[in-house]
Amino acid sequence: MKSVAEICSDLIRFDTTNPGSAERPAAEYVATLLADAGIEPVVFESAPGRTTVVARVDGDSSDALLIHGHLDVVPADPSEWRLHPFSGEIEDGLVHGRGAVDMKGTCAMTLATVLGMAARGERPRRDLVLAFLADEEATGDYGSRYAVTEHRELFDGVSQAISESGAFSVPAGDARVYPIAVGERGTAWMKLTAHGVAGHGSMPAVDNPVATLVHALSRLASHEWPVRLTPPVTAMIEAIAEITGQPVDLDRVEAEIPRLGPLGALLHGLIRNSANPTMLEAGYKVNVVPSTATAHVDGRYMPGLRAEFLQTLDELLGPKVVREFVNLEDAPSAPYPSPFFTELSAALVAEDPAARPIPYVMSGGTDAKSFAGLGIDGYGFAPLMLTPDLDYNGMFHGKDERVPVAGLEFGVRVLTRLLA
């Protein structure tokens, strides 16, 4: 049987850039591994090449747990990487390449866990539904959204789910903190359009849409969104204070973040809404004032703060800028505290006695949003023990992405404890 590092390396070698090469070859690889282990996969496409694999493993309880991951990755420019981003090279105890962290490493841990259990004849404590999805790095229209609408029956009986962006180690003195995600910020990707009067670039502009849009974007980019502490984030801060023995003033959290070091870095994207201009397009000739200008904005809002976010956004943009949503998704949350959170924590502590699990809210979004629509509680739990020099969050969509082999092996042991 292949090791978890070998599976991770194999998956990285499939260029599943989104937009770009599609997930079909990687999905076929996953389906073959499952079928060879006696686990029957269901393979389907939402469009040519946009392929998802789902499989069910019978357990001792029909209350099923979903483990989902995505096979697509964001683009990578080989000229910016020390090793080729699709080499999957294993060097100095690290697996290198695009997707090592986000999230082919996690898919490899899931596969190595269930394949290992199958080889040993071990039956999981509850039914497992495994989903290896397309298109998470865009809107999920070709992946999780398609799966939950067109193949809803594959997720029957699922009450809880685990996936990416949680349970990674963060150094904290003699302890290691493992943030387990119990929610994530909502997504509001928007296209902004300003209309005006076309004219000659040498003449005073009657109504220049480029200027209108740029002024609006400047107001948006310079806006200081107020700190809004949701209950899970408050619980996270209180847990950090207890673990470190350093009280944190909740009334001035932002000022407290720097002294908390790596633990403080976890809070940066969790204490307020945000809206970042990311794309801008206007005009076709230097001496022509165009009639329209467009921009795209990546907006994120905390659970429960959608109405406040949109109201502030409209005030900043002003009446002459029209917004339309490219992708609008609610901010899902899972119960905390809960018996399942306790189970997840226990699996970590059993493998790492120095582990200190805490609740966490993800600043970005995952496919958990789609499954939340089916009433499935999603937790970010992709256990990974890291060396202190690795900036886990910095490698998401960054260059020279890599993951420790020992960290992947740790994750397999934790998942096995959770599932067996």
DSSP 314-367: HHHH-TTEEEEEEEEE---B--SS-HHHHHHHHHHHHH-TTEEEEEEEESS--T
What is d(CA 192, CA 121) in angstroms, rounded to the nearest whole number? 55
- 307-332 CB burial, b ≥16 within 10 A, e <16: eebbebbeebbeeebebeeebebebb
Give me the helix-helix angle, 24-36 and 104-119, nearest 10°. Answer: 20
What is d(CA 11, CA 97) in angstroms, rounded to the nearest whole number? 10
What is d(CA 282, CA 210) in angstroms, rounded to the nearest whole number? 7
The dihedral built from the CA positions of residue 85, 88, 89 and 91, taken in this order, carries a sign that is positive
Query: Among 388, 384, 366, 356, which Cα is nearest to 109's?
Result: 384
Q: Which residues are annotated as catalytic? A: 72, 136
Please give, one letter per residue, the 3-state secondary structure of 174-240. Answer: CEEEEEEEEEECEEEEEEEEEECCCEECCCCCCCCHHHHHHHHHHHHHHCCCCCCCCHHHHHHHHHH
Asked if residues 6 and 409 have their Cβ atoms less than 8 Å apart, the reply is no
